[in-house]
């Protein structure tokens, strides 16, 4: 009855919930459903006709058919969005005509160009705008590439592959949800410029962004101050240093760097106040609201339509339009309508972290903020503002805490202190920036205001840096599952109901759900405890072995050179967090042999063991062969008594097959990391 009353009070939840289910089902079973798109479409059409028929003849069946229609619609829209990443890949190099759609980005060893494949040149067959990440070899010509260039390339385009390491970032799924088919490496002499699309370079919004950034630089902004002002006003965070990102993350203020509800709300408030005289006139009320909505969407276009901005602009647009009606709409209903409209337009936004955090924060504020505010009743306006800021911060943090812990494995202890400092500062910075830009005709006054803005940003950074340095500023290396996230929100709901009703039943539900969640988390922690093991990971170009003791201490055993250690840390760190392992210590072996608990692991990644002989063979438990060794297994058997062979993914397919054949001839078990992803050997 309670869930029904909730849906009756907020009817748009009836539309949103089945849409969410349809999107999740389509994304989870995309491969299985890809061949049944036509069947799914027919079922949805039949359900729609039954829905229409129920309105005319069998009205009691309407609530039954409506969810099925929306679930089917969500699955169809999601399947259509995911199909953008499908492509007919070939195993050989092929000539393609491509168009660079974004400004090239310099990487460590290449130039990255996000491009659209327009045509397969060898067959002259059109390709329907398939997006790829193309990596060009660095030279003077590739440095000259720019947005809008049309190229003829000769390369083998490949789909993204997973490393196979459990809990590692799922890069193929990430690209699929972004509509990116895969990637390709283009050698220096395998491409040529054949034209340029001027329309792409004449992006007015991009030029406005560049103008604002240039204006900030002329007004004296530089370094972290320039990067933060650019992030706050035009949504670009590429210039933010790793140090300043860590400060904002540890202090719990990262949300102020992403243009979202806070910034759009401030912008909305300015527009609302400026147009108050026009809005109060009956005949101009609609015009003023239309002007507010149009300006908000122009700002969203300026920032490039990120999900958080679109969510916020949609929300505030609905709020502005609701002012034209006599009744005040339920805010949860408005939020549900904003989510429903957005997901109809782009269903894959559901899986973006910004989208999830924005809606979780707003939903928590809508439901919990009135309760927190009621705990401290006051008529003093200053204390009232302080109380509202405090209650909003607590509510928002409660809403996003499980999501932050799930994705970033961190919880900021002093989030209240950070928000009490950062939110007023950001509010002041945003208003001062609007004033600064409005004073362009008065350069002398504008420079004075710019100096004030610069100082405000500096003081904001100093304050957050101080908070991040406080003892135990954050709890790191947290691991929670999706089920625990759901359980966390259920606990919040039961406690919210308890504080409103204060009955024995609600007390039992709140405490029972809390203890059940804690019991499940403790059980999972015990179950995921890592046993002493030797572990090999599928990380290309990083021959290493992870040695885990029974005390929980661990080491990375490597050769004397390990070029891709950072990649290993990034990909395996979630796996270590999941199994409660601290970051391992480094254990370097100059003779390429590592011993651990009576087991010997030998790394073969160069020619130092070739053409050598020994009368006494050394017993090796695991021979790890990676890129750099060009010899045969027979040469190694002259030196070592080999129990098992581990083949790294960096070896070519030809060389890998040759090693597998040689191992079979000698009855030596083999493990191919490219296929297994991870090899864990309990000891």
The string of DSSP letters for 152-202 reads: EEEE--B-------TT---HHHHHHHTTEEEEEEE-TTSEEEEEE-HHHHT
Longest dimension (CA), the chain: 101
- Supply the pLDDT for residue 304: 67
- The answer to whether 601 touches 622, Cβ cutoff 8 Å, is yes
Q: Which helix (H) or strand (E) holds 663?
A: helix 653-665
Distance from CA of residue 306 to its chain's centroid? 12
Angle between helices 415-438 and 443-468 (to 10 degrees): 170
Tokens of 427: 């509010």
Q: Which residue has the tokens 């309105």?
A: 55
Report the C-alpha gap between 652 and 668 in whole angstroms. Answer: 20
Report the C-alpha gap between 23 and 157 in whole angstroms. Answer: 29
CB neighbour list of residue 88: distance below 8 Å, 6 or more residues apart: none
Tokens of 221: 């902004």
- Supply the pLDDT for residue 161: 86
User: Judging by DSSP bridges, how do beta strands 110-120 and 94-100 pair with one another?
Assistant: antiparallel
478 SS3 class: coil
537 SS3 class: strand
Q: Which helix (H) or strand (E) holds 125?
A: strand 125-137
pLDDT tens profile 217-229: 888 898 889 989 8
Domain residue ranges of the chain, discontinuous segments joined by +: 2-85, 94-201, 204-476, 482-527, 533-682
Burial class of residue 336, CB neighbours in 10 A (0-12, 13-18, 19+): buried
- What are the φ and ψ backbone dihedral angles of 588, each rounded to 5 degrees? -95, 135
- Supply the pLDDT for residue 671: 93
Residue 295: left (phi > 0), alpha (psi -120 to 50), or beta? alpha
Report the C-alpha gap between 77 and 22 in whole angstroms. Answer: 9
CB neighbour list of residue 273: distance below 8 Å, 6 or more residues apart: none
Find residue 411's DSSP bridge partners.
475
CB neighbour list of residue 93: distance below 8 Å, 6 or more residues apart: 154, 155, 156, 190
What string of H, E and C letters represents the secondary structure of 239-282?
CCCHHHHHHHHHHCCHHHHCCCHHHHHHHHHHHHHHCHHHHCCH
What is the CA angle 587-608-541, rounded to 5? 55
Cα within 13 Å of Cα(308), Cβ side: 24
- What are the φ and ψ backbone dihedral angles of 460, each rounded to 5 degrees? -60, -45
Angle between helices 307-322 and 261-274 (to 10 degrees): 30
DSSP code, position 144: T
CB neighbour list of residue 237: distance below 8 Å, 6 or more residues apart: 227, 230, 231, 257, 258
Q: Which helix (H) or strand (E) holds 645?
A: strand 640-647
- What are the φ and ψ backbone dihedral angles of 51, each rounded to 5 degrees? -65, -45
pTM of the model: 0.83
Residue 338: left (phi > 0), alpha (psi -120 to 50), or beta? alpha
Residue numbers of the chain with a pLDDT score lower than 50: 1-4
Report the C-alpha gap between 374 and 376 in whole angstroms. Answer: 5
Residue length, the chain? Answer: 683
Report the C-alpha gap between 230 and 210 in whole angstroms. Answer: 10
CB neighbour list of residue 391: distance below 8 Å, 6 or more residues apart: 368, 369, 372, 373, 375, 376
pLDDT tens profile 9-33: 677 888 889 999 999 988 988 877 7
Distance from CA of residue 581 to its chain's centroid? 24
- What are the φ and ψ backbone dihedral angles of 378, each rounded to 5 degrees? -155, 150
DSSP per-residue codes, 287-305: HHHHHHHHHHHHHHHHTT-
Give CA separation, 574 vs 169, 333, 406, 451, in Å.
8, 37, 10, 43
- The answer to whether 258 touches 354, Cβ cutoff 8 Å, is yes
Report the C-alpha gap between 479 and 472 in whole angstroms. Answer: 18
Report the C-alpha gap between 12 and 16 in whole angstroms. Answer: 6
DSSP code, position 584: P
Q: Which residue has the tokens 């229409």?
A: 52
Angle between helices 353-374 and 331-345 (to 10 degrees): 180
CB neighbour list of residue 263: distance below 8 Å, 6 or more residues apart: 232, 312, 426, 430
Report the C-alpha gap between 271 and 275 in whole angstroms. Answer: 6
Domain covering 94-201, topology: OB fold (Dihydrolipoamide Acetyltransferase, E2P) (2.40.50)
DSSP code, position 26: H
N- to C-terminal Cα distance for the chain? 55
Find residue 594's DSSP bridge partners.
601
């Amino acid at each position: 009855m309670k869930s029904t009353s909730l849906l009756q009070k907020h009817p748009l939840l009836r539309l949103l919930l089945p849409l969410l289910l349809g999107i999740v089902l389509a994304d989870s079973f995309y491969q299985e459903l890809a061949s049944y798109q036509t069947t799914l479409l027919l079922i949805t059409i039949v359900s729609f006709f039954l829905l229409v028929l129920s309105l005319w003849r069998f009205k009691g069946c309407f609530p039954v058919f409506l969810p099925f229609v929306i679930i089917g619609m969500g699955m169809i829209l999601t399947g259509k969005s995911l199909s953008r990443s499908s492509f007919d890949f070939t195993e050989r190099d092929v000539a393609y005509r491509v168009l660079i759609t974004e400004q090239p980005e310099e990487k460590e060893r290449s130039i990255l160009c996000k491009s659209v494949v327009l045509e397969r040149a060898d067959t002259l067959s059109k390709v329907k705008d398939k997006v790829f990440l193309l990596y060009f070899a660095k030279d003077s010509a590739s440095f000259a590439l720019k947005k809008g260039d049309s190229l003829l390339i000769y390369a083998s385009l490949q789909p993204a592959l997973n490393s196979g390491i459990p809990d590692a970032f799922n890069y193929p799924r990430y690209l699929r949800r972004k509509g990116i088919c895969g990637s390709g490496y283009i050698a220096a002499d395998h491409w040529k410029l054949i034209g340029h699309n001027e329309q792409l370079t004449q992006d007015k919004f991009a030029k406005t962004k560049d103008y604002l950034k240039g204006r900030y630089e002329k007004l004296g902004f530089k370094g972290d101050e320039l990067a933060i002002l650019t992030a706050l006003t035009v949504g670009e965070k590429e210039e933010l240093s790793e140090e300043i990102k860590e400060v904002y993350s540890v202090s719990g203020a990262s949300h102020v760097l992403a243009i979202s509800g806070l910034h759009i709300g401030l912008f909305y408030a300015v527009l609302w106040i400026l147009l108050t005289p026009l809005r109060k006139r009956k005949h101009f009320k609609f015009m003023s609201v239309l002007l507010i909505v149009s300006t908000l969407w122009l700002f969203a276009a300026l920032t490039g339509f990120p999900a958080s901005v679109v969510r916020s602009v949609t929300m505030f647009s609905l709020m502005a339009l609701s002012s034209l009606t006599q009744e005040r709409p339920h805010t949860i209903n408005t939020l549900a309508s904003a989510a429903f409209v957005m997901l109809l337009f782009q269903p894959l936004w559901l899986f973006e972290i910004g989208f999830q955090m924005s809606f979780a924060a707003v939903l928590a504020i809508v439901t919990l903020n009135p309760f927190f505010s009621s705990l401290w009743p006051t008529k003093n306006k200053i204390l009232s503002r302080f109380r509202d800021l405090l209650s909003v911060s607590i509510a928002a943090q409660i809403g996003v805490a499980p999501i932050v812990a799930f994705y970033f494995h961190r919880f900021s202890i002093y989030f209240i202190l950070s928000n009490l400092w950062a939110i007023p500062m950001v509010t002041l910075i945003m208003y001062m920036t609007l004033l600064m830009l409005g004073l362009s005709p008065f350069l002398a006054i504008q420079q004075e205001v710019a100096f004030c803005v610069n100082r405000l940003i500096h003081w904001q950074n100093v304050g957050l840096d101080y908070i991040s340095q406080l003892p135990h500023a954050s709890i790191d290396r947290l691991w929670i599952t999706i089920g625990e996230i759901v359980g966390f929100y259920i606990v919040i709901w039961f406690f919210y109901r308890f504080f409103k009703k204060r009955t024995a039943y609600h007390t039992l539900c709140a405490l029972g759900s809390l203890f059940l969640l804690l019991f499940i988390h403790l059980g999972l922690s015990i179950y995921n405890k890592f046993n002493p093991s030797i572990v090999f990971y599928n990380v290309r170009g990083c021959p290493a072995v992870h040695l885990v003791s029974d005390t929980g201490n661990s080491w990375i055993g490597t050769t004397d050179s390990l070029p891709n250690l950072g990649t290993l840390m990034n990909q395996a760190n979630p796996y270590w967090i999941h199994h409660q392992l601290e970051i391992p210590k480094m254990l370097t072996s100059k003779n390429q042999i590592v011993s651990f608990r009576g087991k010997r692991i030998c790394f073969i990644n160069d020619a130092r063991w070739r053409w050598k002989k020994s009368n006494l063979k050394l017993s090796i438990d695991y021979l790890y062969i990676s890129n750099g060794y060009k010899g045969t297994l027979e040469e190694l058997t002259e030196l070592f008594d080999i129990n098992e062979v581990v083949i790294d993914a960096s070896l070519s397919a030809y060389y890998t097959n040759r090693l597998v054949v040689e191992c079979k001839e000698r009855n030596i078990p083999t493990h191919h990391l490219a296929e297994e992803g991870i090899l864990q050997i309990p000891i």
